[in-house]
Amino acid sequence: MPGADDAFVDTVMDLAIEPTVAALRSRGIDYRGFLFCGLMLTPDGPKVLEYNVRFGDPEAQVVLPRLTGDLAGLLASAADGALTDAPAFDDGAAVTVVCAAPGYPFAPETGTPITGLDDAGAVDGVTVFCAGVAADPDIAGGLVTAGGRVLAITGQGPDAAIARQRAYDAVGRVHFDGMQVRSDIATSA
């Protein structure tokens, strides 16, 4: 993430991650797996919003495309307690924009035809992840909305501004009635 220099990472490790791992150990918990720390950046420094022990969306869609190593090998090493190297990532940036169904998050509408996925996927540096999507052979294109977070569209580039531009270019090629998209993702880029 932009601005996540070594000092920022050290702060997060000191304030959140290391105390959490120490607390697990003090309780005799041999935790092996993924630990995601959701943060809010405040004027007083980072604050922990949540911990997840899974790699959900949209976090996975913005992080995993930049992974340069073997994810399965990393996960197997962690499960065996033999993870010796930190995961490696490319030097670029990624930005993920979620396309949500109307009514999300409380009562998302489903069954709405989705168009433009091929056009969106043709944008250089873009990956389209389908989440709340179902097949419907009776409509043109064959796909309809089937949940709240319908799509996660990830743009990659050498910096966050280009990754953001690619993601929003692809979002602009997708359509389903009532599609909700935040326009402020990575605006500082």
Q: What is the pLDDT along the chain (189 residues), one digit of tens a residue?
A: 556 788 988 999 999 999 999 999 999 999 888 888 888 989 998 999 998 888 777 888 999 999 999 999 999 998 998 988 889 999 999 999 999 999 999 999 999 999 999 999 999 999 999 999 999 999 888 999 999 999 999 999 999 999 999 999 999 999 999 999 999 999 986
Whole-prediction pTM: 0.86
pLDDT at position 58: 82
- Which domains, from first to last, does the chain contain? 6-79 (3.30.470.20), 93-181 (3.90.600.10)
E strands present in the chain: 36-42, 45-52, 93-100, 126-130, 133-135, 143-145, 149-157, 180-181
CB crowding 10-26: b at 16 or more within 10 Å, else e: eebeebbeeeeeeeeee
